[in-house]
Chains A and B, each alone.
Chain A
């Protein structure tokens, strides 16, 4: 009970700023009579959202499609990133080959490949969007997990050595637990990237019931309230995905400095 109140107090300033910002936005639009195609008022965006929730542009079904693509890409990218990180951590020579190549590939703006992914996997298929998402998610997960698996305290390894522990035991008892917070950090970065991948993939074609398509189509017909409404839904989806991962940190790594409380003794 007290915890809930403490939290409310902690987040109150952010809530005030958020709500206040929207109120000022609304007031400025009305006072200056700014036209909707430049910047619609929050109330107009809200109205467009409600009107097109399931009818018209079908924002809600579109969000479900986009969430599926982003989620699929996130899972695929995470699994791939994990697999490569474990393999590379296991074989130091692989690290010397994979890392420079990986860093070079990561410098490429992967979203530029969206049309090609559409070509490869079919623009109507969700797999083309998942592929872009996965490619974006892969790198931060791989790098973070690799760091977690290899940046292990030297004395931890000596300790395990003094117990005559083998490589498998060191992996299980030291490296994997050590990598878990790194993985979750990668996953948090990945949630945002996976949505970017899905939405940008949709910009370049696909079924019309998808948030990226709603953005493109509504903008082309100058229905900017709908465009903004779709952007609001994408943003909220991204925030919720992030919060799910952040919340799982409280369960999975309660001991970590980013999550834990105070010392008792």
Chain B
């Protein structure tokens, strides 16, 4: 597993990771603690848990957007800080965070403007990325002219321009309606399969986590800990049929049970199938 040449070599290794924040009152708040986790190359891993379980903090620790109070983050066999300097990360936030003064293509080009890439190569890469998210015809529009889902696709294209090895997504579809969210899920899977990138995906939604992931990391709140890691063995490629399959409901149930702190045996899935359909879609 630690052999970097192996196809399933570890990309991200978290050991003994903890993060505490100093509150204005002088007290400290432990966001996450005792985190040990290893992500393999090309994996799609979701972090799921109740509000305040520290899943976003964990994502930000991996991306070196915040520093751990204890423990180590190793990314591509180097410290997270070096990985960020080496531009190993692509970030997608809940809001698209597009610069409104830039056109779509200029937004996608932004990361490349921080490099020494020459103009021709930049433009070619931008075109390639816009094709990937199927927004070529909107290249010269401004963000405000696009819908929320389209804006988020621009954010994904921008995150991938550097060809980072890890894509960090922090509840990227949380603000979208259910239909758009499902479309975006399929879109992300297509891109993930096309690029072979490693994805860390924070979400509130159980169905979303199950549909997308190869593994779902279930967390509990106060302090944020990993309570369970659920392997999702649904066949790929996943599509509409996946969402209607029995195995899918079983996995949704298993993750839900894990979130409740129960043991979540998969064969209990059928009993709660209806429940999964009724309330499950919003997690």
User: Which residues of A does B touch, CB under 8 Å?
Assistant: 153, 155-156, 158-159, 161-165, 169, 173-174, 177-178, 180, 253-257, 260, 262-265
Contact A162 B97 (CB under 8 A): no
Contact B93 A163 (CB under 8 A): no
Q: Which of A158, A163, A177 is B99 in contact with, Cβ under 8 Å?
A: A177
Q: Can you list 10 residue pairs at the A/B interface with Cβ under 8 Å?
A: A156-B97, A159-B97, A162-B168, A163-B114, A173-B99, A255-B143, A260-B144, A263-B146, A264-B146, A265-B146
Contact B63 A162 (CB under 8 A): yes
Residue-wise interface mask of B (83-102) relative to A, using a CB-CB cutoff of 8 A (1 in contact, 0 not):
01111011101010101111
A162-B84, A165-B114 known; A265+B150 contact, CB < 8 A: yes
Contact A265 B114 (CB under 8 A): no
Contact B101 A180 (CB under 8 A): yes
Contact A158 B91 (CB under 8 A): yes
A158-B65, A159-B93, A169-B114 known; A265+B145 contact, CB < 8 A: yes
Q: Which residue of B lies closest to A252 (CB)?
A: B101
The verdict on B147 contacting chain A, using a C-beta distance below 8 Å, is: yes
The verdict on B110 contacting chain A, using a C-beta distance below 8 Å, is: yes
The verdict on B142 contacting chain A, using a C-beta distance below 8 Å, is: yes
User: Which residues of B does A touch, CB under 8 Å?
Assistant: 63, 65, 84-87, 89-91, 93, 95, 97, 99-102, 110-111, 113-114, 138, 141-147, 150, 162, 168
Docked CA distance A161–B146 (Å) = 25
Contact B113 A162 (CB under 8 A): no
Q: A163-B111, A177-B102, A265-B147 are in contact. List 18 more A-B contacts (CB 8 A).
A: A153-B97, A155-B97, A156-B97, A158-B93, A162-B84, A162-B89, A162-B91, A162-B168, A163-B87, A163-B110, A169-B114, A173-B110, A174-B99, A255-B144, A260-B144, A263-B145, A265-B146, A265-B150
User: Smallest CB–CB gap between B35 and chain A, Å?
Assistant: 20
Contact A255 B100 (CB under 8 A): yes
Docked CA distance A180–B100 (Å) = 12
Docked CA distance A173–B115 (Å) = 13
Docked CA distance A165–B84 (Å) = 10
Residues of A within 8 A of B86 (CB): 164
Residues of A within 8 A of B85 (CB): 164
Residues of B within 8 A of A158 (CB): 65, 91, 93
User: Smallest CB–CB gap between B43 and chain A, Å?
Assistant: 20
Residues of B within 8 A of A180 (CB): 101
Contact A164 B84 (CB under 8 A): yes
Docked CA distance A156–B111 (Å) = 12
Q: Is the interface of B mostly helix, strand, loop or mixed?
A: loop
Name which of A158, A178, A260 has the most chain B CB atoms within 10 A of its CB: A158
User: Smallest CB–CB gap between A219 and chain B, Å?
Assistant: 48
User: Smallest CB–CB gap between A183 and chain B, Å?
Assistant: 13
Q: Which of A163, A178, A260 is B142 in contact with, Cβ under 8 Å?
A: A260
A156-B97, A255-B100 known; A265+B87 contact, CB < 8 A: no
Docked CA distance A163–B160 (Å) = 11
Contact A264 B97 (CB under 8 A): no
Residues of A within 8 A of B144 (CB): 255, 257, 260, 263
Name which of B84, B90, B99 has the most chain A CB atoms within 10 A of its CB: B99
User: Smallest CB–CB gap between B61 and chain A, Å?
Assistant: 13
Residues of A within 8 A of B65 (CB): 158, 161-162
User: Smallest CB–CB gap between B278 and chain A, Å?
Assistant: 33
Q: Which 4 A-B pairs have the closest CB atoms?
A: A162-B91, A263-B145, A255-B142, A177-B101
Contact A255 B87 (CB under 8 A): no
Residues of A within 8 A of B168 (CB): 162
Q: Which of B95, B101, B146 is A255 in contact with, Cβ under 8 Å?
A: B101
Residues of B within 8 A of A256 (CB): 100-101
User: Smallest CB–CB gap between B258 and chain A, Å?
Assistant: 30
User: Smallest CB–CB gap between A175 and chain B, Å?
Assistant: 11
A158-B65, A164-B85, A265-B145 known; A253+B93 contact, CB < 8 A: no
Residues of A within 8 A of B141 (CB): 264-265
User: Smallest CB–CB gap between A162 and chain B, Å?
Assistant: 4
User: Smallest CB–CB gap between B171 and chain A, Å?
Assistant: 12
Residues of A within 8 A of B95 (CB): 155
Residues of B within 8 A of A169 (CB): 114
Docked CA distance A174–B101 (Å) = 10
Docked CA distance A127–B90 (Å) = 54
Contact A155 B93 (CB under 8 A): yes
A155-B95, A263-B146 known; A164+B101 contact, CB < 8 A: no
